[in-house]
């Protein structure tokens, strides 16, 4: 029995599936997951004694690369002053000021501990603000695992084939309308029927939980118009895209202002953090100012604020996102050439340093049904081939990939050389 297999067996005895978040279990690709000992820059170091070029980046937060020395030093220093106080700190004010400066649609922001908490709270707030119950989401989008949002969900729910989770009361799920992503007509039609009952639309402005699917031109603009027309709240779930596709997130990249924004991942620099915020008029409905309740023992935790603030400071360096985007483009062009040379049908999607790989002969992948039509078996082969070569991709055909600033020429060259070998084996 391999060392990794023994570790996974041991984990499975007392942790359901051996993991604390389902996609980590490699169910989407088969085999045993790596156990990670440490990580640095673009690399994961696993208990099998090997190092892997990492394109998961802890599912998005590690935009600076792993264990960035300045982030680690700041967190070490903060830890010396105490781990949690449950009372206000100036760090929280600094974080709120910084976030509202970087994301101008946000007048106010509240910190929470995960993306799930952020979206769950934003939806409660939208419902409390409008006095309406229904929400609109899109098929294949994932917004965390709150009850209202586990309806036709993406990410691990999709990978495991349980997009509608048991345990979600039907009485709650019936308030969630799920529509096809990038289909504005479907949205207009739903609103024509029940628009007056819809509290909010929640959308990933770039879908990253059904692999990576960018918004078609006009889609986000159309959502904005429809929300304005019906008095519904537009929520951009930027847990993944925030500070990644541009410093100001997808809303800066596409020039659309949502009413509320949810954040996570990068804002915590690798620590457990989420945030939600937006228009003052809506945010002032939140306790203790208003009647909509939301709270958290560890919210605004000083270590998390420190890691997040240092990360936000470093990624604001001039040219940071342009460089990251350029490196990502080089990777994708290289993979496309390698695939074409080997006669393998591969399409790629990219928004900034977020990307999707699709094994298909179709000319483009722009919606959920096109994602689902891709060759998952080929993805599995590719995933394991690359893993053998020392390249760690997301272990599911339904997850976006991420680059960090630590991915340089050497990592891109090594990845492309590996891909050439793996594609050659497909023939």
> Is 237 a catalytic site residue?
yes
- Rounded least distance, CB 239 to ligand PMP, Å: 4
Residue nearer to ligand PMP on the CB measure, 116 or 232: 116
CA atoms within 13 A on the CB side of 405: 19
Residue nearer to ligand PMP on the CB measure, 143 or 152: 143
Binding site for ligand PMP (CB under 6 A): 59, 114-116, 119, 142-144, 155, 204, 208-209, 237, 239-240, 264, 274
The answer to whether 178 touches 158, Cβ cutoff 8 Å, is: no
What would the DSSP string read from start to end of 28-77? Answer: TT-SPPP-EEEEEBTEEEETTS-EEEESSGGGTT-TT-BT-HHHHHHHHH
Residue nearer to ligand PMP on the CB measure, 195 or 395: 395
Determine the residue with CB nearest ligand PMP: 115
> Is 142 a catalytic site residue?
yes
The angle formed by the CA atoms of residues 375, 380 and 382, to the nearest 5 degrees, is 95
> Which residue among the candidates 32, 54, 237, 259 is catalytic per the annotation?
237
- Rounded least distance, CB 175 to ligand PMP, Å: 19
Residue nearer to ligand PMP on the CB measure, 75 or 271: 271
Beta bridge partners of 112: 274
- Rounded least distance, CB 194 to ligand PMP, Å: 25
Q: How far is CA 109 from the centre of its chain?
A: 19
The answer to whether 187 touches 223, Cβ cutoff 8 Å, is: yes
> Is 265 a catalytic site residue?
yes
The answer to whether 115 touches 264, Cβ cutoff 8 Å, is: yes
In which order are the strands placed within the sheet that holds 51-54?
Answer: 36-40, 43-46, 51-54, 391-392
- Rounded least distance, CB 44 to ligand PMP, Å: 18
Residue nearer to ligand PMP on the CB measure, 144 or 163: 144
- Rounded least distance, CB 385 to ligand PMP, Å: 25
Q: Which one, of 98, 207, 90, lies nearest residue 152 by Cα?
A: 207
Which residues are catalytically annotated? 142, 237, 265
């Amino acid at each position: 029995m391999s060392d990794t297999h023994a570790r996974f067996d041991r984990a499975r005895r007392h942790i359901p599936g051996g993991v604390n978040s389902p996609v980590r279990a490699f169910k989407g690709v088969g085999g045993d997951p790596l156990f990670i000992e440490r990580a640095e820059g673009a690399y994961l170091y696993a208990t099998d004694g090997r190092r892997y070029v990492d394109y998961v980046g802890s599912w998005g937060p590690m935009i600076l690369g792993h264990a960035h020395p300045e982030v680690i030093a700041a967190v070490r220093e903060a830890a010396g002053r105490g781990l949690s106080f449950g009372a206000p700190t100036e760090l929280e004010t600094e974080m709120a000021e910084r976030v509202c400066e970087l994301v101008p649609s946000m007048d106010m922001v509240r910190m929470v501990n995960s993306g799930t908490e952020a979206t769950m709270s934003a939806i409660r707030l939208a419902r409390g603000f409008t006095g309406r119950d229904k929400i609109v989401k899109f098929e294949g989008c994932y917004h965390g695992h709150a009850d209202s949002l586990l309806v036709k969900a993406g990410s691990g729910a999709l990978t495991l084939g349980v997009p509608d989770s048991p345990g979600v009361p039907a009485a709650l799920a019936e308030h969630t309308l799920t529509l096809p992503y990038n289909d504005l007509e479907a949205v207009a039609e739903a609103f024509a029927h029940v628009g007056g009952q819809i509290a909010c639309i929640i959308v990933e402005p770039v879908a990253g939980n059904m692999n990576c699917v960018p918004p078609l031109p006009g889609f986000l603009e159309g959502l904005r118009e429809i929300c304005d027309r019906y008095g519904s709240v537009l929520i951009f779930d930027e847990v993944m895209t925030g500070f990644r596709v541009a410093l100001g997130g997808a809303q800066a990249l596409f020039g659309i202002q949502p009413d509320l924004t949810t954040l996570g991942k990068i804002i915590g620099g690798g620590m457990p953090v989420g945030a939600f915020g937006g228009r003052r008029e809506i945010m002032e409905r939140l306790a203790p100012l208003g009647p909509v309740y939301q709270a958290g023992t560890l919210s605004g935790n000083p270590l998390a604020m420190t890691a997040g603030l240092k990360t936000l400071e470093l990624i604001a360096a001039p040219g940071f996102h342009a460089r990251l985007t350029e490196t990502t483009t080089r990777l994708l062009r290289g993979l496309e050439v390698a695939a074409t040379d080997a006669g393998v049908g591969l399409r790629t999607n990219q928004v900034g340093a977020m990307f999707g790989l699709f094994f298909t002969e179709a000319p483009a992948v722009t919606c959920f049904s096109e994602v689902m039509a891709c060759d998952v078996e080929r993805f599995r082969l590719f995933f394991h081939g690359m893993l053998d070569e020392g390249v760690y991709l997301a272990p599911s055909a339904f997850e976006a990939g991420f680059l960090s600033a630590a991915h340089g020429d050497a990592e891109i060259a090594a990845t492309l050389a590996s891909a050439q070998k793996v594609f050659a084996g497909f023939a």
